[in-house]
Each structure stands twice: as structure tokens, then as C-alpha cells.
Amino acid sequence: MPPPVPCAPADETSPLSPYLKDLVQKLYEAAEGFRAHPAVESSGKAQVAAYEAINDLVRTSAHDTREFVATLLQVSLGARGRGGVGNQGDHEDDGLSSRELVS
């Protein structure tokens, strides 16, 4: 599959802009679901694929989603500092919550 084409710098919106929050939230929930079941053989690959999809959505997002992307980055970096977002941990509250993503 070819890599997604980033939005041109002048793109104010994209067809995915209205759905970006929901897409990121569902992909994050899927990644965390796979994280919760590490014994399943393909869960690691599926978790990485979900995070890569989030990365592609953010990387190719248009200007009208900048506020959400900025919030997402702040929340993600905060969770990363607490040991979340992809790190294996024993505490459920160590990671990023889907509520933080859409607030």
C-alpha cells in the first residue's frame, strides 16, 4: 500500500477533518485493547499498526484540525512522561485515556 499523501500546506480542510477526533479515539482504543492482551500472538503488531495509523492521520491533517492535533500532542507527551502511550505497565491509569483525547 502506498504511503498517504500529506495535505499541501495551503489545505485548510480535508475530507477526514470532521472525523479526525473519532478516528484517533477509535484507533487509540484499539491499540489499548491490543495492549491489554499481550498474550495474543499478533497483538503487538496490531498495536503498532494502530499507532502508525494515528501518526499518519496527524501527519496528513489539515489546518482546521490544528487545535485538536496540538491538544493530542500535549496529552500524548504528558502520558508519555507518566509511562503511558505504548509503554507496558502494570497500572491502567499510566496511559492516555480516550477521554483525554476528545476533551
Q: Is the model's pTM score more than 0.85?
A: no
* Residue 26: burial class (beta carbons within 10 Å; 0-12, 13-18, 19+): middle
Instruction: Check pLDDT > 80 for residue 6.
Output: no
CB < 8 Å & 24+ apart, contacts of 47-56 = 47/86, 51/27, 51/86, 53/27, 54/24, 54/27, 54/28, 56/3, 56/4
Contacts of 88 (CB under 8 A, 6+ apart): 35, 38
pLDDT at 20 (0 to 100): 97
pLDDT at 45 over 80: yes
Count CA atoms closer than 13 A to 25's CA, side-chain side: 13
Higher pLDDT, 17 or 75: 17
Query: Helix, strand or coil for residue 18?
Result: helix
Mean pLDDT of the residues in the chain: 79
